[in-house]
Amino acid sequence: MKVTNFSKPAVFILLGFSDQPQLEMVLLLVIAVVYVMTLMGNTAIILVSHLSPKLHTPMYFFLSNLSFLDLCFTTSIVPQMLWNLKGPEKTISYAGCVIQLYMALGLGSTECVLLTVMAYDRFNAICRPLHYSVTMHPKLLQQLAAVAWISGFVGSTVQTVLVFQLPLCSHHRVDDFMCEEPALMKIACVDTTFLENELAIASALYVVTPLGLILISYGCIVKSVLRIKSAEGRRRAFETCVSHLIIVVLFFGTLISVYIQPKSKYMQNHSKFLTLFYTVVTPSLNPLIYTLRNKEVKWALKRLLRRDPS
Give residue 292's pLDDT.
63
Whether pLDDT at 280 is above 80: yes
Q: Where are the alpha helices (DSSP H) in 164-281?
A: 181-185, 193-203, 209-226, 231-259, 265-276
Whether pLDDT at 2 is above 70: no
Its pTM surpasses 0.85: yes
Domain boundaries, the chain: 11-306
Whether pLDDT at 143 is above 90: yes
Q: What is the pLDDT of residues 112-133, one digit of tens each?
A: 999 999 999 999 999 998 889 8
The CATH code for residues 11-306 is: 1.20.1070.10
Whether pLDDT at 151 is above 50: yes
Question: Which one has a higher pLDDT value, 54 or 193?
Answer: 193
What are residue 85's DSSP bridge partners? Answer: none
Q: For residues 207 and 259, is the Cβ–Cβ distance under 8 A?
A: yes
Give SS3 for 49.
Answer: helix
Q: For residues 177 and 14, is the Cβ–Cβ distance under 8 A?
A: yes
Whether pLDDT at 75 is above 60: yes
Give residue 34's pLDDT.
93
Q: What is the pLDDT of residues 232-259, one digit of tens each?
A: 888 888 888 888 898 999 889 888 877 7
Phi, psi (rounded to 5 degrees) for 28 = -60, -45
Mean pLDDT of the chain: 85
Q: What is the pLDDT of residues 166-214, one digit of tens each?
A: 888 767 888 888 888 888 888 888 888 888 898 889 989 999 999 999 9
Whether pLDDT at 134 is above 70: yes
C-alpha separations of 142 from 78, 110, 139, 242 in Å: 29, 14, 5, 24
Rounded distance between C-alpha atoms, residue 215 and residue 206, angstroms: 14
Per-residue pLDDT band for 7 (boundaries 50, 70, 90) equals low
Give SS3 for 12.
Answer: strand
Long-range contacts at 164-170 (CB < 8 A, ≥ 24 apart): 164/98, 164/101, 165/1, 165/3, 165/6, 166/3, 166/6, 166/190, 166/192, 166/195, 167/3, 167/4, 167/5, 167/6, 168/6, 168/9
Rounded distance between C-alpha atoms, residue 294 and residue 119, angstroms: 17
What are residue 14's DSSP bridge partners? Answer: 174
Give residue 15's pLDDT.
82
Question: Which one has a higher pLDDT value, 260 or 113?
Answer: 113
